[in-house]
């Protein structure tokens, strides 16, 4: 990454997990921009087999947080990203559903939009699905997949170290690290 | 989206699926930038339970494409995004694994990086896993999740229509569309 890197690419490279937030609320306009970016993610067969609940009500935030060990600070906004099983494109049972992957991609857009707007966020998979369902009134066909706390960062985030690219990326064939 | 929208946010809102490509190759520098952005995605417990094969070899591209109905044009680059089951954080079997969601998020970063660099891409779940495994030499613990053809767009892409936000997004409680 150097000075010639486009802003948009820089945003991808500098986003990191933010888990602690100031008390400052997240205004309507920012919420709207983030939600718009979120549903601009890809959608398998354009089924949009997803649903989202954006929570800002303080009582609901307190209760959801209490049942979500992965949410370590009380955020001003929490988005529950869900898979809508009634809209699945899958004809036969398999290890996973494309629609589920699209929920994750939408969450990534949300994280990136937050970062682009000077906010911080993180994806959380550690929560008790039963109580979260009840608190948010989710019907049976809606599965909560990830919770995303969002807010103004309380501290400067640091990036987690990454595995060496040679461990993770091959070229043309598994385990080949230089192009033929 | 207006003139005040930051470039980074605009990029999230304007990315769309590109399935057809010109013959122009994708150079090393662009590939490197995209792969770097890809692995900057979130990773549950920082396990980075993912692996990627970036394919540019013409013979391998031709063969993988032949076994992948979802890849409708021959791209100059195809990234196979895989889940590394040997690095899963999951202690008990469940409907999905967090690491799998991280693979999807990494793919979203790849799609966005391609878009930021003037390229086009799309996530493809329709491929025959067995032949793709063999062609790329994937070991048993590496599951191909999505194939991502990448290249210079052959035509101006159009955005797919989206469901009304009121269908998809609730506030504070399922089905509530205005804040209390």
Residue A64 — very low, low, confident or very high, per pLDDT cuts 50/70/90? Answer: very high
Residue B51: closest CA among A19, A135, A175, A21? A175
B55 is a domain residue: yes
Chain B partners within 8 Å of A98 (Cβ): 125
Number of domains observed in the structure of chain A:
1
Considering just the CA atoms, what is the radius of gyration of chain B in Å? 18
Residue A113 falls within a domain, yes or no? yes
- CA A54 to CA B57: how far, in whole Å? 45
Q: Give the domain extent around B64.
A: 16-142
Q: Is residue A136 part of a domain?
A: yes
**Cross-chain CB nearest to B179 (options A6, A56, A137):** A56
Nearest Cα neighbor of A158 from A19, A23, A30 is A19
* CB interface of A with B, residues 78-117, below 8 Å: 95-96, 98, 100-105, 107-109, 111-113, 115-117
CB atoms within 10 A of CB A165: 14
What mean pLDDT is predicted for residues A32-61? 95
**Continuous H helices in chain A:** 7-14, 28-38, 58-66, 98-116, 129-136, 165-168
Q: Say yes or no to pLDDT of A33 above 60.
A: yes
- Domain membership of residue A176 (yes or no) is no
What ipTM was predicted for this assembly? Answer: 0.93
- Interface probe with A: pick from B38, B49, B104, B160, most Cβ of A within 10 Å: B104
In a domain, A72, yes or no: yes
pTM: 0.94
- Looking at chain A from residue 31 to 70, which residues have their Cβ under 8 Å from any Cβ of chain B? 33, 35-37, 39-44, 46, 48, 50-57, 60
Is B154 in CB contact (< 8 Å) with chain A?
no
Contacts of B107 in chain A (CB under 8 A): 101, 105
Helix (H/G/I), strand (E/B), else coil: B17: coil
**CATH code of the domain in which A34 resides:** 3.40.109.10
CB contact under 8 A, B95 and A39: no
B174 with A80: CB under 8 angstroms?
Answer: no
pLDDT in single tens digits along all 180 residues of chain B: 555 567 889 999 999 999 999 999 999 999 999 999 999 999 998 889 999 999 999 999 999 999 999 999 999 999 999 999 999 866 655 567 899 999 999 999 999 999 999 999 999 999 999 999 999 999 999 999 999 999 999 988 888 889 999 999 999 999 999 875
Is residue A97 predicted with pLDDT exceeding 90?
no
pLDDT at A175: 94
Question: In this complex, how many residue pairs, one in chain A and one in chain B, have their CB atoms less than 8 Å apart?
Answer: 223
């Amino acid at each position: 990454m150097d000075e010639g890197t486009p802003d948009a690419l820089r945003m991808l490279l500098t986003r990191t997990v933010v888990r602690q937030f100031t008390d400052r609320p997240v205004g309507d306009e920012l919420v709207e921009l983030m939600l718009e970016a979120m549903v601009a993610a890809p959608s398998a067969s354009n089924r949009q087999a997803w649903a989202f609940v954006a929570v800002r009500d303080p009582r609901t935030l307190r209760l959801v947080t209490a049942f979500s060990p992965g949410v370590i600070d009380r955020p001003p906004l929490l988005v529950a990203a869900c898979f809508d099983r009634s809209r699945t494109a899958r004809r036969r049972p398999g290890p996973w559903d494309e629609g589920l992957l699209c929920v994750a991609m939408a969450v990534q857009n949300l994280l990136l939009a937050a970062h682009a707007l000077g906010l911080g966020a993180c994806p959380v998979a550690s929560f008790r699905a039963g109580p979260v369902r009840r608190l948010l009134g989710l019907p049976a066909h809606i599965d909560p997949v990830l919770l995303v706390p969002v807010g103004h960062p309380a501290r400067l985030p640091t990036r987690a170290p990454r595995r060496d690219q040679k461990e993770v990326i091959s070229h043309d064939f598994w385990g080949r690290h230089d192009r033929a």
